């Protein structure tokens, strides 16, 4: 029996990564992957050791429901999503919407290329339906440094962080 889940759907991942890239600024690829994970599984935000300024986000995360169910093991699901997320970023870079050179260096940076109208509308609608958790993920979590003792890797425990140089 086949079971669909957007975590392993390359096209859905392209769509989510485009929403992450639209957040503005430049992100490390690992941070973009984490933000994508939490856009897909918003209830998992409640499991993050959040900084004081984002603690209200826990109640929104607990109230969030996932149509396709939350992962039984977030660490394993996040690890298994890696190749799809990387392929999605390469696809977006191939279309000219993120900078290829920066992606090769390990960063996601949006280019000045406009997103086609209907796709832009769908991304906006996707984020609007997921408010306020989408803002918590794309603005609040994105503002936390990736590395270091209180970095996003450490707070989520989805990636190895012990040997990171802050």
* Locus of tokens 């957007």: 6
The single-letter DSSP state of residue 31 is H
Per-residue pLDDT reduced to its tens digit, 66-115: 766 788 899 999 999 999 999 999 999 999 999 999 999 999 999 999 99
Averaged confidence pLDDT in the chain = 92
Whole-number pLDDT of residue 41: 94
The alpha-helical segments, DSSP class H, found in 41-151 are 57-63, 74-94, 100-104, 117-129, 133-135
More confident: 71 or 166: 71
**For residues 3-14, average pLDDT:** 89
**For residues 21-27, average pLDDT:** 88
Q: pTM surpassing 0.85?
A: yes
């Amino acid at each position: 029996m086949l079971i669909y889940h957007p975590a392993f759907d390359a096209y859905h991942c392209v769509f989510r990564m485009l929403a992450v890239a639209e957040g503005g600024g430049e992100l490390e690829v690992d941070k973009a992957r984490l933000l994508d994970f939490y856009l897909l599984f918003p209830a998992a935000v409640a499991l993050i050791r959040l900084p004081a300024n984002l603690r209200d986000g826990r109640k929104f995360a607990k109230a969030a429901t996932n149509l396709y169910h939350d992962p039984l093991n977030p660490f394993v699901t996040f690890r298994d999503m890696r190749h799809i997320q990387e392929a999605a970023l390469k696809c977006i870079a191939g279309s000219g919407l993120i900078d290829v050179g920066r992606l090769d260096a390990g960063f996601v940076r949006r280019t000045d290329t406009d997103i086609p109208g209907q796709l832009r509308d769908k991304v906006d609608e996707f984020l609007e339906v997921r408010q306020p958790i989408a803002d918590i993920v794309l603005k609040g979590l994105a503002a936390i440094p990736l590395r270091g003792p209180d970095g996003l890797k450490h707070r989520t425990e989805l990636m190895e962080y012990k040997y990171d140089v802050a």
